Amino acid sequence: MLKRWVAVLCLLLVMAPAAKAADPQFQAFLQSLWPEAQRLGVSRPTFDGAMRGLEPDLSLPDLAVAGRPERPPPQQPEFVQTPADYVRESSIARLAAEGKKLLAAHRATLDAIEKQFGVPPQIILAIWGRETAYGGYKLPHDALRVLATQAYAGRRKDMFRGELFAALKMLQDGVPRERMRSSWGGAMGLTQFLPSEYYKHAVDFDRDGKVDIWTSIPDALASAAKQLANKGWVRGERWAYEVRAPGNVDCTIAQPAHVMPISEWLKRGYVPAYGRRLTDGEQRNESSLLLPEGTYGPAFLTPKNYFVIKEYNFSDLYVLFVGHLSDRIADGRPFETPWSKNAQLRTEQVEAMQKTLTARGLYSDKIDGKAGMLTRAALGAYQKANGLKLDCWPTAAVLGHMQARR
């Protein structure tokens, strides 16, 4: 009987997959970080504990691995969905209903945050809702592994190297490793902070002696407010104003460089949605025009606070989602003008369009396949120059027109 069990055990050992050998180059890279980590105040035990057993996660996007075709970053919905898909009514309504409950439950804390940092409760709740569904979405990755992999093999090595050192400092300062769960890009906590942002903006608002953006709602929300304040949030001003654009709107001026006082936009035929009355102070605000769907769908006048939110996530649709969710938490009304049924071109199609616009001297920003404000304005200039319908919205028909005239 003993011989039989020994034979079975040997067979299982033969059949078991061999343990994956550690990547010696990755291990050498990790150890090369020690001198700088030490200069930043990280102890040897903390460093060794963080690096022990760490292996690169080569399934992450945005890596440049030798011998493997480069995988692009994941197609973030902020950049590849239409406004109607991204600012989806069902999602907004669900998050707004939950946001109203949280506003009542945390009113005293939120009022205190607004008093100190000037950011309204609804804006902070909307960021929390968008980032982690008010904490319901659990971030899937180990932050140290993500940051080490990106610093070793990512396309933005220098940026992630700095974030990795900041994460090591967080461990040194007492943040438990098990809390450091992140997105694929290394952002952590209820409102998703990179490690460097943690040190720039995080605050111990509940005064328990710890800065806890993972489980302390006061700390997480106050930290988000402080980040907006540090980026220039203007106390008492709105994030944006929905307006009805005049029928003859020139959509090529819908870009940040074209700025006028709101009073001037009103004189030119832009009408605030729902008959909103703007104060004299509001009308003096310098604003630019945003047409997220070209001449289709809602239009917006965007003062400085719009662009402050955009620094939290560099996407117009992200700002629209957060801003609109904040409004819905306050009064419940949808956009006055609905989104259209327009489709979104694929990334490679928008890239082809950007290359043509660049070659014609109409566009000078990044070739990234994202139909942002500058791409839409350049497309409108192309439509003007070629006698096409002026709507500043990328379609297969306009792309075909460009390709036929190469």
CA dist 402 and 394 (Å) reads 11
Work out the angle at residue 328's Cα, subtended by the Cα atoms of residues 326 and 329, and round it to the nearest 5 degrees. Answer: 65
Three-class DSSP category at 348 = helix
Of 80, 119, 126, 74, give the one whose Cα is nearest residue 103.
Answer: 126
CA dist 99 and 110 (Å) reads 12
Instruction: Summarize pLDDT for 81-126 with one digit per residue, the tens.
Output: 889 999 999 999 999 999 999 999 999 999 999 999 999 999 999 9
**Up-side HSE of residue 225: CA atoms within 13 Å toward CB?**
27
Instruction: Summarize pLDDT for 27-50 with one digit per residue, the tens.
Output: 999 999 999 999 999 999 999 999
- Entry pTM: 0.89
Question: Quick one: three-class SS letters along 67-108?
Answer: CCCCCCCCCCHHHHCCHHHHCCHHHHHHHHHHHHHHHHHCHH
Instruction: Summarize pLDDT for 55-89 with one digit per residue, the tens.
Output: 999 999 888 876 555 555 554 544 468 899 999 99
